C-alpha cells in the first residue's frame, strides 16, 4: 500500500520557517491543509499547493524567554508568546512523550475549544493524526506548534459557561433547540473569534446545550457530532462567509474525532464537550436570517471525485471540510456528508489562479 504521508515531512520542512499567522492577520492554515491532503490520499499535491500559498506566510518570531512548568497559566491567552509556548511543548514532548503531553494538555485546553476560531484544536488534531501514523521529529515539532496556537490564543467561549450537564436528546435534536441570538446581533461579516463574543447575548445557551446526550461511546458520539454539524452546514451555509463559519463546526467536531483514539477518558469527555458547545455557539451567533434554501448541488458524486474536486479547488476551508466529511463518510456511510462537500465547493471561491473549474468534476461523473 502506498503511504499517503510519504511526502508529508517534506511539506512540514517547507513550513518550518513560518509562524502561525498570515500576512492578512488570519491564521496560517497551511499545516492543516497539507495533512488533510495526505489523509484524503492527495498528499502528492501538498508541495505544489504550498508553493502557491507561500507568499502569504510570515516568518517565525525570534526565540522568547521560556515558560516555566509552574508559570504556564500566566502565559495562557497571550498570542505574542507563541514561540515560548512552542518551545515549552517541544520540551514537554521530549521529556514525557507526545501522547502523554497531548492527553494532559487536551484536558487543560478544552475549555478554550473555540480558540482562534477553532484552529488551535484543529491544527493540533491534524498534527497528532500524522504523528500517530509515523513518529518523526518534524511531526513532533508540528504537534508542539499546534498546541502552542491553542495555548497562546486560549479563550473560553464565555467566562462563566459551565461544563455541560448532558441530557437525553440526540445531538441533532438538541442542536435544533439552540436559540440564535436576536437577529440584529447575529454576525454577518468579520472574524469568527470577534463574532463569538456575541454569545453573551444568548442567555439560554448553557441550558439548551445541556440537553444533548453525549454519553454514548466516544468515537460514535464524535461521528454523530460531525454528521449533526454537516446538517447545520447544509441548512445555514448560504454564501462564502457562512460556508467558512459553519465549516468550522464540522472540522471542529472532526478534530475531536481524530484526537479521541490518542487520549484517555478524561480528555475524551472534555474534547466532546468542547466540540459540541463550540458548534452550537456558531449556530447561536452566525445563523442566517433565512436559512434552508441554498444553491442546488450536483446530484451524483463519489468520494474519489469529491476529493479530487477539493484538491483542484484549492481553498483551504474546502480541503479541510472535504477531508473531515470524507473520513466520516468512510465510517458512517452517511451520504449527506458528500452533499456537504459539494455545497461547499459551490459556495467557496476557488483559490486565486486556479485554472480548473472544480464544479465540472462534480457535473461530469459517470
| DSSP code at position 12 | H
Residue 2 forms part of a structural domain:
no
Within 8 A by CB and 6+ apart from 160, the residues are none
Q: Which spans in the chain are helix H?
A: 8-15, 30-39, 46-53, 72-75, 82-96, 98-109, 119-133, 137-152, 171-176, 192-195, 205-209, 218-236, 240-259, 265-286, 303-313, 316-332, 336-347, 358-363
Distance of alpha carbon 216 from alpha carbon 221, whole angstroms: 6
The 10s digit of each residue's pLDDT in 6-51 is 999 999 999 999 999 998 889 999 999 999 999 999 999 999 999 9
The rounded radius of gyration (Å) of the Cα atoms in the chain is: 19
Residue 161 forms part of a structural domain:
no
The 10s digit of each residue's pLDDT in 189-204 is 999 999 999 999 999 9
**Residue 3, Cβ neighbours under 10 Å: how many?**
11
Show which of 286, 314, 344 is a domain's final residue.
Answer: 286
CA 341 to chain centre: 15
Q: Are residues 196 and 83 in the same domain?
A: no
- Could you give the C-alpha distances from 10 to 5, 47, 123, 148, in angstroms and in order? 10, 8, 18, 22
Within 8 A by CB and 6+ apart from 230, the residues are 250, 325, 328, 334, 336, 337, 340
The 10s digit of each residue's pLDDT in 293-332 is 555 665 557 999 999 999 999 999 999 999 999 999 999 9
What average pLDDT does this structure show over 175-187? 95
The 10s digit of each residue's pLDDT in 270-292 is 999 999 999 999 999 999 987 65
**Stated pTM of the model:** 0.94
Within 8 A by CB and 6+ apart from 176, the residues are none
Domain limits at 113?
Answer: 8-152
The 10s digit of each residue's pLDDT in 70-94 is 889 999 999 999 999 999 999 999 9
The predicted pLDDT at position 291 comes to 61
Phi–psi pair at 245, nearest 5 degrees: -60, -55
- Could you give the C-alpha distances from 222 to 60, 78, 170, 273, in angstroms and in order? 34, 30, 12, 10
The predicted pLDDT at position 360 comes to 44
Give the number of domains in the chain. Answer: 3
Q: Are residues 274 and 240 in the same domain?
A: yes
Residue 50 forms part of a structural domain:
yes
What average pLDDT does this structure show over 344-349? 95
Q: Are residues 275 and 346 in the same domain?
A: no
| Cα 253-257-262 angle, rounded to 5 deg | 140
Q: Are residues 12 and 148 in the same domain?
A: yes
Distance of alpha carbon 123 from alpha carbon 233, whole angstroms: 21
- pLDDT mean across residues, the chain: 92
Q: Are residues 265 and 311 in the same domain?
A: no
Amino acid at each position: 500500500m502506498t503511504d499517503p504521508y510519504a511526502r508529508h515531512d517534506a511539506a512540514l520542512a517547507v513550513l518550518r520557517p513560518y509562524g502561525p499567522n498570515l500576512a492578512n492577520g488570519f491564521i496560517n492554515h497551511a499545516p492543516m491543509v497539507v495533512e488533510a491532503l495526505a489523509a484524503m490520499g492527495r498528499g502528492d499535491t501538498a508541495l505544489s499547493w504550498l508553493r502557491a500559498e507561500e507568499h502569504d506566510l510570515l516568518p517565525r518570531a525570534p526565540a522568547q524567554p521560556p515558560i516555566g512548568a509552574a508559570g504556564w497559566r500566566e502565559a495562557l491567552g497571550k498570542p505574542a508568546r507563541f514561540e515560548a509556548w512552542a518551545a515549552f511543548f517541544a520540551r514537554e514532548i521530549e521529556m514525557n512523550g507526545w501522547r502523554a503531553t497531548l492527553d494532559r494538555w487536551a484536558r487543560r485546553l478544552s475549555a478554550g475549544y473555540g480558540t482562534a476560531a477553532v484552529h488551535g484544536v484543529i491544527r493540533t488534531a491534524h498534527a497528532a493524526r500524522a504523528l500517530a501514523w509515523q513518529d518523526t521529529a518534524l511531526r513532533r515539532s508540528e504537534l508542539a506548534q499546534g498546541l502552542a496556537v491553542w495555548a497562546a490564543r486560549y479563550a473560553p467561549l464565555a467566562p462563566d459557561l459551565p461544563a455541560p450537564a448532558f441530557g437525553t436528546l440526540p445531538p441533532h435534536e438538541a442542536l435544533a433547540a439552540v436559540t440564535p441570538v436576536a437577529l440584529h446581533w447575529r454576525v454577518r461579516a468579520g472574524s469568527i473569534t470577534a463574532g463569538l463574543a456575541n454569545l453573551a447575548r444568548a442567555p439560554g445557551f448553557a441550558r439548551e446545550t445541556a440537553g444533548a446526550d453525549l454519553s454514548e461511546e466516544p468515537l460514535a458520539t464524535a461521528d454523530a457530532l460531525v454528521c449533526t454539524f454537516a446538517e447545520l452546514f447544509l441548512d445555514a451555509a448560504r454564501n462564502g462567509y457562512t460556508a467558512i463559519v459553519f465549516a468550522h463546526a464540522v472540522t471542529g467536531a472532526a478534530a475531536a474525532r481524530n484526537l479521541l483514539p490518542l487520549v484517555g477518558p478524561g480528555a475524551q469527555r472534555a474534547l466532546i464537550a468542547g466540540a459540541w458547545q463550540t458548534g452550537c455557539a456558531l449556530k447561536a451567533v452566525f445563523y442566517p436570517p433565512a436559512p434552508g434554501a441554498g444553491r442546488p448541488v450536483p446530484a451524483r458524486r463519489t468520494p474519489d471525485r469529491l476529493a479530487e474536486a477539493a484538491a483542484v479547488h484549492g481553498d483551504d476551508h474546502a480541503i479541510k471540510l472535504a477531508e473531515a466529511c470524507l473520513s466520516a463518510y468512510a465510517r458512517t456511510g452517511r451520504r449527506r456528508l458528500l452533499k456537504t462537500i459539494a455545497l461547499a465547493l459551490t459556495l467557496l471561491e476557488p483559490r486565486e489562479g486556479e485554472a480548473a473549474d472544480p464544479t465540472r468534476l462534480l457535473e461530469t461523473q459517470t
